[in-house]
């Protein structure tokens, strides 16, 4: 049990709110930062995030603000939870907060994806270490695992990995998050956990597309979905190894196969839903390529983070000269080079 600590969570989406609730239920003071004022008002006045996590009662120890600097100030722990597209801009805004400038806050990240680098995309932790004060080099904590926000918010049993080069910081977040329903395990493989978290969203888009196609197909069924799941795990391992993952068992743990499985199969998964909507609803029909989708990503009814991750994973695939059929498949579909059905025949199962 972590006593007498304050926590700031930067991002009041479903996942940030669910993590905030899990911590606040332990009697710890948690303040969420919300970009939308109505979300902050809903949390403060009605103890519910009606926009992103409706129907979940939030404890009094969880409050919200639309003031980013306030949310990051005077906090023992800061958790970055904004989507990857906006994460770097947010980090640049909070680096002047005194407790961050002085390295007094322990910082964790629950955002999934990659960030742009000078020559090729990089893991989130690596990029943030170059912007945050030097105290944080090797001290950031990355947290991931099979953890849909809806189930975490309901107190359903969930496992997470807390990964850091600094084992003490990994343990600090493990203790902060641990509860009867939330089980957290430590890891030193920061790159492997991050790669798994980013790529599983890309694989889930492919899985969703096949799930939709099998409704009117004699070719695609449960066997094909399991084939994609297993091949997807292999691509996680190949790209993770190329990027510097240190522990092969990361990919067979809840950080790898566990998160991949739930993201592909659960009805809560936005990226799985996005793959289905590409096939069944033509959700990307108005756009000419992946860049146009990303430029208009906030206009979609939900945010599929696998789109940004796919573009960067494709760049990494080329940079490392890897053959990753699922990543290639999803990229070519999002870039409007193939329809999902044609891409399946021409790329994925070739």
Assess contact for 10 and 72: CB atoms under 8 A: yes
Residue by residue, DSSP assigns 222-260 as HHHHHHHHHHHHHHHHHHHHHHT---GGGGGSIIIIIHH
Helix (H) or strand (E) holding 219: none
- Phi, psi (degrees; rounded to nearest 5) at 99: -70, -20
Reading phi first (left if > 0) and then psi (alpha if -120 to 50, else beta), residue 149 is in alpha
Residue 144: alpha-carbon gap to chain centroid: 7
CA distances to 129, 228, 262, 271, 302 from 268, in Å: 32, 19, 9, 9, 12
Non-local (6+) Cβ contacts of 120 within 8 A are 315, 316, 319
Alpha-helical runs (H) found in the chain: 14-24, 37-46, 68-72, 84-94, 98-101, 124-129, 149-153, 167-177, 190-213, 222-243, 259-265, 270-280, 290-295, 306-319, 325-334, 340-343
Non-local (6+) Cβ contacts of 227 within 8 A are none
Active-site residue flag, 200? yes
Strand order in the sheet with 141-144: 62-65, 29-33, 6-10, 77-80, 106-109, 141-144, 158-163, 182-187
CA distances to 171, 271, 338 from 163, in Å: 9, 24, 37
Rounded Cα distance between 343 and 330, Å, is 8
Write down the catalytic residue from 21, 75, 200, 311.
200
Residues recognised as catalytic: 200
């Amino acid at each position: 049990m972590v006593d007498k600590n304050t926590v700031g969570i930067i991002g009041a989406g479903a996942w940030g709110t669910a993590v905030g609730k899990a911590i606040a239920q332990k009697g710890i003071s948690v303040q969420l930062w919300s970009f939308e004022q109505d979300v902050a008002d809903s949390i403060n006045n009605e103890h519910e995030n009606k926009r992103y996590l409706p129907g979940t009662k939030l404890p009094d120890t969880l409050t919200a603000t639309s003031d980013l600097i306030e949310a990051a100030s005077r906090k023992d722990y800061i958790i970055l939870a904004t989507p990857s597209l906006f994460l770097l801009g947010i980090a640049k805004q909070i680096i002047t907060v005194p407790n961050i400038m002085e390295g007094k806050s322990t910082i964790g990240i629950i955002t999934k994806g990659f960030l742009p680098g000078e020559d090729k995309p990089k893991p989130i932790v690596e990029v943030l270490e170059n912007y945050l004060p030097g105290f944080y080099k090797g001290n950031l904590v990355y947290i991931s695992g099979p953890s849909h926000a809806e189930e975490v918010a309901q107190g359903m049993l969930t496992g997470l990995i807390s990964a850091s080069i600094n084992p003490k910081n990994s343990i600090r977040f493990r203790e902060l998050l641990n509860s009867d329903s939330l089980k957290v395990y430590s890891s030193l493989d920061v790159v492997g956990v991050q790669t798994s978290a980013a790529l599983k969203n890309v694989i889930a888009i492919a899985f969703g597309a096949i799930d939709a196609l099998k409704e009117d197909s004699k070719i695609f069924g449960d066997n094909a979905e399991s084939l994609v799941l297993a091949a997807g795990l292999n691509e996680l391992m190949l790209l993770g190894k190329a990027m510097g993952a240190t522990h092969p068992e990361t990919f067979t743990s809840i950080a790898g196969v566990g998160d991949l499985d739930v993201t592909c199969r659960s009805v809560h998964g936005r990226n799985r839903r996005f793959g289905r909507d590409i096939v069944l609803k033509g959700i990307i029909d108005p756009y000419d390529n992946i860049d146009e989708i990303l430029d208009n990503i906030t206009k979609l009814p939900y945010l599929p983070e696998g789109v940004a991750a796919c573009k960067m994973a494709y760049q990494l695939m080329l940079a490392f000269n890897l053959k990753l059929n699922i990543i290639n498949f999803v990229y070519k579909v999002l870039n409007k080079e193939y329809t999902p059905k044609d891409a399946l025949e021409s790329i994925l199962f070739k």
